[in-house]
């Protein structure tokens, strides 16, 4: 087993979609929402948009800790107290040869009066389509979409995340075996300072109404827009983030982008 391991929250790896280049229609939607936030009377000059390049959706965090025996999967270790080593060869083979792609992601166009036979965190999709998520010092605006097939919400994103457990990757929000996370979200920037609940509700409602009135936007996740990101900052700024497309990566190359622990004597004990 492995004892006394602390897996850092920075300097790690994630599997992402749409980092860098994006479908033009998605760029248009992102820029429209960023403009709305920048010009909103309750925000004024507090909104700092992320660069288009760094805006992305996370498929699954691949965070781990390098030991002599392999890379320990962070979320299995922290959420389920299981020491599992990431199976890189199986993971890469699955992503390049076996996964069912493309995945259709639908943003916007969710009518508040329509029953989509699916709720996200106990909320209708209209309310979840745009969120303002407060932190201690900032508020994070988030655009959320869902996998879509045959004119209905599908569970393709959640199923993909669950499938990756066979390679010893656990989705951060799958702490319990029966939990579901079918959300595909894009963080658009930061709003500096704290907003009160009335301001958050007013801003979020304005943006949700814009999204509701827009025609639904469908974008495809395929092999060409999936990548592994080696990051130092959770916002994945281009200056400190290394991107390797899934189509080009090998198991050995992926292993090498994990950081080694610094100034530590921690070792794995089998």
Domain that holds residue 177: 12-256
Place of tokens 């992926």: 254
Number of neighbouring beta carbons within 10 Å of residue 209: 13
Backbone angles phi, psi at 60, to 5 degrees: -160, 140
Residue 4 belongs to some domain of the structure: no
Residue 268 belongs to some domain of the structure: no
| pLDDT tens sequence across 230-257 | 999 989 999 999 999 999 999 999 999 9
pLDDT beyond 50 at 264: no
| pLDDT tens sequence across 185-229 | 999 999 998 899 999 999 999 999 999 999 999 999 999 999 999
Residue 97 belongs to some domain of the structure: yes
Residue 143 belongs to some domain of the structure: yes
73 closest CA partner among 15, 144, 141, 30: 15
Residue 136 belongs to some domain of the structure: yes
* CATH number of the domain encompassing residue 127: 3.90.1140.10
pTM for the full model? 0.91
Count of the separate structural domains present in the chain: 1
pLDDT classification of 9: cutoffs 50, 70, 90: low
Residue 1 belongs to some domain of the structure: no
Helices (H), the chain: 24-38, 74-80, 88-93, 125-128, 156-163, 197-213, 251-256
Q: What is the model's pLDDT at position 268? A: 35
Side-chain half-sphere CA neighbours of 181 within 13 A: 17
Handedness of CA 128, 8, 51, 222 (dihedral sign): negative
Q: 3: which 2 tokens?
A: 């004892």
Share in percent of the chain as helix, strand, coil (round to 5): 30, 25, 40
């Amino acid at each position: 087993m492995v004892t006394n391991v602390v897996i850092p929250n920075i300097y790690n790896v994630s599997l992402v979609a749409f980092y860098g280049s994006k479908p033009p229609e998605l760029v248009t939607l992102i820029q429209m929402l960023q403009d709305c936030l920048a010009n909103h009377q309750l925000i004024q000059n507090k909104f700092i948009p992320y660069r288009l390049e760094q805006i992305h959706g996370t498929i699954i965090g691949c965070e781990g800790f390098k030991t002599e025996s392999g890379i320990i999967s962070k979320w299995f270790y922290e959420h389920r107290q299981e020491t599992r080593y990431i199976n890189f060869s199986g993971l890469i083979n699955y992503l390049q040869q076996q996964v069912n792609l493309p995945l259709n992601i639908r943003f916007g166009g969710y009518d508040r009066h329509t029953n989509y036979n699916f709720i996200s965190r106990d909320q209708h999709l209209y309310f979840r389509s745009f969120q303002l998520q407060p932190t201690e010092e900032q508020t994070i605006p988030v655009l959320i979409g869902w996998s879509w097939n045959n004119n209905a919400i599908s569970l393709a994103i959640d199923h993909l995340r669950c499938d990756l457990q066979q390679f010893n990757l656990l989705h951060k929000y799958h702490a319990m075996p029966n939990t579901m996370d079918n959300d595909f979200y894009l963080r658009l920037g930061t709003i500096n300072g704290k907003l009160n609940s009335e301001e958050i509700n007013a801003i979020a409602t304005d943006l949700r109404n814009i999204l509701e009135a827009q025609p639904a936007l469908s974008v495809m996740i395929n092999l060409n827009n999936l990548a592994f990101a080696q990051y130092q900052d959770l916002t994945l700024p281009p200056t400190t983030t290394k991107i390797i497309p899934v189509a080009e990566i090998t198991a050995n190359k992926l292993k090498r982008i994990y950081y080694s622990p610094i100034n530590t004597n921690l070792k794995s004990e089998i």
